[in-house]
A and B are shown apart, each in its own frame.
Chain A
Amino acid sequence: MTDDTKIRFKFNKINEYKYLSHLEIVRLVMMAVSRAEINIRYSEGFSPNPKINFSFPVPVGLASIAEYSDIDLLEQMDASKFKKTLNLALAENMRVTDAKNILGKVPSLMGDIGFCSYVFAVNTKGKKYESEIKNDIMSSLELSGSIHSLELVPNGTSGDIVNLNLIGYTKIYTNNKIFKFNDFLKYFKYLSNKMDIVVEDYFKKESYILKEGMLKTPLEIV
């Protein structure tokens, strides 16, 4: 048995598809794999299961451009061909954006991913609130313990729009808390209401694995 039948791929769920749950997305990926006639490997034993794993579920309503999955195939397949073939079988609001053949052993996505980054596009309506927003969020003990880093940068499209880039913990390291997206969103909406600014859009941007003191994407480590 060759060992290079595994592929790690990155995909998005955008626009209307942000309203699909993790299980619904998994079902759609499985059906697309089948339509693409990509032969997935099954586990041995009494009730064989397809060998495919996914990264953490994102909440219903949150778009993502950084979902990950590891799949094990019956035959070796070039990752770029895999990407092209699967994309032809997916609906318009889901795309494989990158894929790599896995050489050797890698830890599972669920166990390995420790951080996720999010982007919030905020309309400040011309007010210079950047440092206040940052201070307010970081002064909430409950939230700040779950945030690895946070910055506000110009969005580039319009002078009034700034991006809040945030990296939250999805795993316990030392003294940190787990970042809960919906709790944060609720607080951030309350805050923006208070400051009379508007959260216009938000999405999940990336997942990270801590490796040798650095944050690496799941595809960078294979």
Chain B
Amino acid sequence: MKILEFNDFEKALEGVQKPGRYIGKEFGTKSKNISEGLDLNATALFALAFPDVYEVGMSNLGIQILYEIINKRDDCSAERVFTPWIDLEANLRANKIKLFSLENRIFIDEFDILGFSLQHEMQYSNVLNMMDMSGLKLRAKDRKDKQGTIICAGGPAAINPLPMAPFMDFFVIGDGEEVILKILDVLLKYKTEKRAKDWFLNEIKNFEGIFVPSDYKFYYHTDGTVKKITPDAKVKKVTVKNLDNCRIVTNPVIANIKPIHDRFVCEIMRGCFRGCRFCQAGFTYRPVRSRKAAGLVTECMEGLQNSGYDEISFLSLSSADYGELEFLISSFLDLNKNKKISVSLPSLRLDSFTLSIAEMIQSGRKTGLTFAPEAGTQVMRDIINKNINEEEMLECIRIAFKKGWEKVKLYFMIGLPFENNEDIEGIMDIVQKIITVAKEALPKNKLGRMNVNLSVNAFCPKPFTPFQWAPQNSVDMLNEKFSIIRNNLPKRFVTVSWSDPHRSRIECALARGNMKVADAIEEAFKNGAKFDNWSEFFKYEIWQNAFNHSGVDINHFTERAASEDEILPWDFIDISVPKEVLIKEMDKTKRIAAQNDR
């Protein structure tokens, strides 16, 4: 077992900002201590990797869940590894030191398995960078060494695994909590019986949710669309049937450096009833599963005590739809009434009912209210199936202003299918109406503090949604729409932020990519792409050149409208929502558009 000695570790940290990112030894660390007589030959070593910096990765619930599950077993040990910031990367590369884990500083290529959590397409370049820093060959076909590190990935940005498929030995599509235990059993045999990698992959490939890229072949038409995928057998997404069987993590690792979400997290529900047609998570996390509130209250009390947090976040895709929300919040607040505990509900859809819940949790300091109409007109909201009514929203805001709120955050998308100028003007119109409501409802001395924080994002059509066939707007079209909004918004009371259209374009190409896109990702990585999720690092030219150089047409995955008859690259994955359902949803959209002369 090769580890990075403390002296060399200290040398590598010289001149590095925030060295606390790399030191491990946090309160709540769970991996086995390798110096305490651990039988390394009988222990499966799992490197849990997150392709972003420590403060981001430590805010991720999935990492905490898997870390807990793996380390609960006596015969396995999971250690964490995050992307080193560019300063440490430079030191490591200059001193030829390979990437190491946080806990025991074991070099990553010493682990039996390396598993990446993919949260977002723009993290793909960091995955390759971390593999490269670990001294691991990027392509799975080049890693045939016996007993070598097996590399896998899972998470929301692995739902279409193809762009990253040539780099991975296998993927987990869906919920990881239960299938990971079966994988670990096979991994132990792989290690103790000194089996070949192919044996390992063959043993796990029939588990639900497992995709082994080397088992599938893709044939293409000359226009780049898919001709045939073999074998016919689909990869079925794995789901945890009953969430109450998976306890929430009540003893999380407490980050040493303040993480971006610095609070205790309790997942109340997985999946969403709403069916917004643009939302990938809304389709891929089906069916909706809830945890029982009574048990959660006890577990949350335990979690707050174990962690020392004074803030809790109840997580779901749409908390207003959680059946026991009022009971959960009121029981929780009741038990904590003598403590200073703050509660957040990040996805609370606001109306007159949920406003009273917002009031319960924001008593004292009314920070702000968030609405996500996503589109500027009722027609467009019908097209995307976002069930928010303008009058109701304005009425809710009026009541909120009277109850003491002064700030409103609004989320909109542009570049949606069938969009026209009315939808763009509609966004400005809603902002104007909120200002009018504020002037009526807020006393003069408070009006000055009123703020509408407008966030406008470019729509990026995603696989497994009814809009998976839709063309993305060109960068020029998106820029024009952004500038119309920016130039016509009232100067007072409004702050606006928008997404970079070039970045949305690359995100779209990666999200809807096929296996050929992997060539472009590898090329982009080799030309310096990293931390593409961070606006200060993303460079469009690198990606544009990488696609050109690899002979992959970006437009094929972005501005091209796909036909409902064609085989989509990700059609071999069964997310439990049949393609016919998505086609029906798209038909409804077309009807609504036609009825409104669009």
A residues 6-39 with Cβ under 8 Å of B? 15-17, 19-21, 24, 27-28, 30-35, 37
Query: Which residues of B sit under 8 angstroms from A28, Cβ to Cβ?
Result: 27, 254, 256
B23 and A17 contact, CB distance less than 8 A: yes
Cβ-based interface call for B25 (8 A) = yes
Question: Across the two chains, which residue of chain A brings its CB closest to B262?
Answer: A27
Within B301-317, the residues touching A (CB, 8 Å) are 305-310
- A34-B308, A61-B19 are known contacts. Are A27 and B25 too (CB-CB below 8 A)? no
Q: Are A93 and B20 in contact (CB under 8 A)?
A: no
Q: Are A34 and B23 in contact (CB under 8 A)?
A: no
Q: Are B254 and A31 in contact (CB under 8 A)?
A: yes
Q: Does A78 contact B (CB under 8 A)?
A: no
Complex Cα–Cα for A201 and B13 (A) = 16
A31 vs B258: C-alpha distance when bound (angstroms): 12
Give the docked Cα–Cα distance between A15 and B306 (Å): 24
Residues of B within 8 Å of A33, CB to CB, are 308
Q: Is the CB of B24 closer than 8 A to any CB of chain A? A: yes
Contact in complex: B19, A35 (CB < 8 Å) = no
Chain B residues whose C-beta falls within 8 Å of the C-beta of A24 in the assembled complex: 20, 256-258
Does chain B have a CB within 8 A of A91?
yes
Known contacts A19-B13, A90-B27, A92-B25: A31-B20 contact under CB 8 Å = no
A-contact 0/1 string along B12-29, CB 8 Å cutoff? 010000111011111101
Residue pair A16, B24 in contact (C-beta under 8 Å): yes
Kindly list chain A residues whose C-beta atoms are within 8 Å of the C-beta of B22: 19
Question: CA–CA, A32 to B306, complex, Å?
Answer: 9
How far does the alpha carbon of A21 sit from the alpha carbon of B19 in the complex, in Å?
A: 9
Instruction: Given A31-B309, A35-B306, A35-B308, verify A19-B23 contact (CB < 8 Å).
Output: yes
CA distance A89 to B308 in the complex (A): 9
Contact with B along A43-81 (1 / 0, CB 8 A): 000000000000000001100000000000000000000
Interface residues on B, range: 20 to 34
Contact A19:B308 (CB < 8 A) given known A31-B254, A91-B27: no
- Assembly CA distance A153 to B23 (angstroms): 32
Tell me if A17 and B25 are in contact (CB < 8 A): yes
Chain B proximity mask over A80-108: 1 for CB below 8 Å, otherwise 0:
00000000011111000000000000000
Chain A's nearest CB lies how many Å from the CB of B564? Answer: 53
Tell me if A20 and B25 are in contact (CB < 8 A). no
Residues of A within 8 A of B (CB-CB), count: 24
Number of A-B contacts (CB under 8 A): 59
Residues in chain A near residue B19, CB distance under 8 A: 19, 60-61
Set of chain B residues within 8 Å of A89, measured between Cβ atoms: 27, 308
B307 lies within 8 A of A16 (CB): no
Cβ-defined contact, B256 with A35, below 8 A? no
Q: Mark B89-132, 1 if CB is under 8 A from A, else 0.
A: 00000000000000000000000000000000000000000000
Contacting pair B256 A20 (CB below 8 A):
yes
Give the residue name and chain of the B residue nearest to A42 (CB): B340
Given contacts A20-B20, A37-B305, contact A27 B27 (CB under 8 A): no
Which chain B residues lie closer than 8 Å to A61 at the CB level? 13, 19
On whether the beta carbons of B20 and A34 are closer than 8 Å, the reply is no
CB distance from A212 to the nearest CB of B (A): 40
Q: Contact between B258 and A27 (Cβ–Cβ < 8 Å)?
A: yes
A123: min CB distance to chain B, Å: 14
B103 to chain A, nearest CB (A): 11
Q: Which of A188-207 contact B (CB under 8 A)?
A: none
Q: Which residue of B lies closest to A16 (CB)?
A: B23
Chain B proximity of A110: nearest CB distance (Å): 22
Q: Are A34 and B310 in contact (CB-based, < 8 A)? A: yes
CA distance A17 to B24 in the complex (A): 9
Q: Which of B220-276 contact A (CB under 8 A)?
A: 254, 256-258
Q: Are A35 and B305 neighbours in the complex by a CB distance under 8 Å? A: yes
Closest to B22 in A: A19
Q: Are A19 and B20 in contact (CB under 8 A)?
A: yes
> How far apart are the CA atoms of A94 and B173 in the complex, in Å?
41
Judging by beta carbons under 8 Å apart, are A32 and B308 in contact? Answer: yes
Residues of chain A contacted by B306 (CB below 8 angstroms)? 35
Distance of A90 Cα from B29 Cα, bound (Å): 12
The docked-state distance in angstroms from the alpha carbon of A182 to that of B219 is 63
Contact call B26/A91, Cβ cutoff below 8 A? yes
Tell me the bound Cα distance from A103 to B257 in angstroms: 35
Q: Which residue of A lies closest to B310 (CB)?
A: A34
Which one of B25, B26, B308, B340 has the highest number of Cβ atoms from chain A below 10 Å of its Cβ? B308
Identity of the chain B residue whose Cβ is nearest the Cβ of A48 in the assembled complex: B340
Closest to A92 in B: B25
Task: Tell me the nearest residue of chain B to A31, going by C-beta.
Answer: B308
Q: Which residues of A contact B256 (CB under 8 A)?
A: 17, 20, 24, 28
Cα A12 to Cα B311 with chains together (Å): 27
Which of B26, B256, B307 is packed against the most chain A CB atoms within 10 Å? B256
Report Cα–Cα, A173/B166, bound state, in Å: 68
B444 to chain A, nearest CB (A): 22
- Of residues 24 through 66 on chain B, the ones whose CB sits less than 8 Å from some CB of chain A are 24-27, 29
**Which residues on A sit within 8 Å (CB–CB) of B308?**
30-35, 89
By beta carbon, the residue of chain A nearest B24 is A16
> Which A residues are within 8 Å of any B CB, using their own CB?
15-17, 19-21, 24, 27-28, 30-35, 37, 42, 60-61, 89-93
A-B contacts, 11 of them at CB < 8 A, read: A19-B20, A21-B20, A24-B256, A24-B257, A24-B258, A31-B308, A33-B308, A60-B20, A61-B19, A91-B25, A91-B254
Top 10 nearest A-B pairs (CB, nearest first) are: A31-B308, A16-B23, A34-B308, A35-B308, A19-B19, A91-B27, A20-B20, A16-B25, A19-B20, A19-B23
15 additional A-B pairs beyond A19-B23, A33-B308, beta carbons within 8 Å, are A16-B24, A17-B256, A19-B20, A19-B22, A24-B258, A31-B254, A31-B309, A34-B308, A35-B307, A37-B305, A61-B13, A61-B19, A89-B27, A91-B254, A92-B25
